[in-house]
Every structure is written in C-alpha cells, then in structure tokens.
Amino acid sequence: MDSALTAVALPLALAVVMFGLGLSLTTGDFTRIARQPKAVVIALALQLLVLPVICFGLVLLFDLPRLLAVGMLLLAASPGGTTANLFSHLYRGDVALNISLTALNSVIAVVTLPVVTNLAIGWFDPADAGSLGLQFGKTLQVFAIVLVPVALGMLVRRSAPGFADRSDKPVRILSAVVLALVIVGTMVAERENVGGYLRDVGLPALAFCLASLAVGYTVPRLLGIGQRQAIACSFEIGIHNSTLAIAVAISVLDSVELAVPAAVYGVLMFPVAASFGWLITRNRTVAAERDEAVPAG
C-alpha cells in the first residue's frame, strides 16, 4: 500500500475514530461498571474468550489461507466499535452499558489484541511470519493509537462539555466516512486479489458477524440479563472496530492482506446488524402483542 496512506492516513483515520469515542466518555462510564457487574462480566467473557474460540473454529472450518486466518483472529480481538452505541440506541438497548463496555474494552484491548494476534501468528505460522508479530515496540504503537486519542477526547469533554456535545454527531458521521474510506483504500490496494479474497473470507466473515451478534444476545438472556442490556451486549460484541484492526494490520504489521478480513467485515456488519436488530425487536413486539391478546384469568 502507498506509504503515505500507511504512515499518515490510516493512523490519522483511526485517531479521528478513537478521539470521537473519547468525546462520548467520562470517568463515570468506568465507575458505572460497578453498578451492573453481571452484564459487564458476561459481555467481557464473551468478547475476550468466547469470540476468539468461535473465530478460530470458523477459520479451521473454512480452511482459510494462513494470512487471512490471522487477519480474522486480529478482527476477533478488536474491541467493539463506536457504531455499536448507535445501533443499541436505534433498537432500544442500554446505551449506557454500551458506552461503559466500549470504554473498558478499548483499554483491555491494548493487552488482549497483541496476545491473540501473536497466538494466531504462532499457530498458523504464515510464510512471512518472521516479519509479523506484535512485540513490545509494536504493542506500544497499539497503545498509542488506541488510548492516546481516547484520553484526549475525554479531556476535551471534561474541559468543554458543550463543545463535546456539539461535536458528537459530526464526529460520528466523520468516523463513518473514515471507516468507509479505509475499507475502500484497503480494497483498492488489493484490487488484483480482491475477488479471491471475497471468495475466501466473505462467508467466514458473514458467519462470524452472525455468530457474534447471536451469542452476544442469547447468552446474556439465558443467564438472566434483561432485554435492553442483552441488546447492548449483542451490538457491543457483534460490531467490531474494523478501523482499528485494519490500522494495526497495515500500519503496525505492514500487511495489507491481514487487513482484508476486517475490511470485508466492515462492509457486512452494518446490514447484518441492522437486520438482526430488526429481528429481535420485531420478535419482542410480536410476543408483547400475543401476551396482550391472552384473556386475563
């Protein structure tokens, strides 16, 4: 990929996205976690432990090429994206829980993302594995590109809350545009291979998206979590930060091919998440109407 895009555009794009996340956060979003620990623990267990296992199983099931397999695990290790908050709002989820989970996930990902990625590289052992891997220096890069813009955004919100509120919508729109441009840039850079990549990783990415949303909703419900919180967990777990995965793949690991699964996922997750949200809210409405129709006594 063009060096200017790799060295400047991608880190800048991710900084915009993470700064926008920071603008929506306060320290209260972290302390709120203590007031709903059950939902947070369940969501984090699914995000950090169950999803990588599901992704690993799908990678083996579809027999993906090694670099694409590592790219899928990199995607699985990425935290929830800020778009999860929007989907949760649209489908009446607990947005406060989403914000808290996004904040906590973004911090934890500084540790878990390098661990999962290095384990995947060690297992699949791609041909150019010698140049891959998130060693200490590269892990510091992940720390810088994830937490520094978030911290700056939080500082702006604390010192100028009115400005942060006014900026929230424009920054969200800009973040969506940035994600689209990053995906297009990745696909253009690999235009000669994009057809093969879509054939290789399209179905696994779709299956992973559906599995993430479904597990994120059904497991909390089975464990006694309320409907609104389950919806929040579903979108937080099912909508990954594709921009982060792409930036780490290209800017940190210097591999466009590793970024392809995240780019494909970034295209698929919006219509899939919208359809999933419509389905669960429709079922809830139908169930409520059925209960109302049952005669009392």
Query: pLDDT tens digits, residue range 107-151?
Result: 888 888 888 888 888 888 776 554 555 555 555 666 666 677 778
pLDDT of residue 74: 92
For the segment 189-216, the average pLDDT, to the nearest whole number, is: 84
* 293 — pLDDT class (breaks 50, 70, 90): very low
- Residue 206 confidence (pLDDT) above 70: yes
Helix (H, G, I), strand (E, B) or coil at 25: coil
Nearest to 51 by CA among 214, 184, 196: 214
pLDDT of residue 147: 72
* pLDDT at residue 209, as a whole number: 93
238-269, pLDDT tens digit by residue? 988 887 888 888 877 777 788 889 888 888 88
- The predicted pLDDT at position 171 comes to 73
* Torsion region of 81: left, alpha or beta (phi above 0 gives left; psi -120 to 50 gives alpha): beta
Average pLDDT over residues 215-240: 92
- Can you tell me the mean pLDDT for 161-171? 78
As a three-state string, the secondary structure of 226-274 is CHHHHHHHHHHHHCECHHHHHHHHHHHCCCHHHHHHHHHHHHHHHHHHH
Token pair belonging to 60:
């083996």
* 214-228: b (≥16 Cβ within 10 Å) or e: ebbbebbbeeebebb
Phi, psi dihedral angles at 80 (to 5 degrees): -65, 150
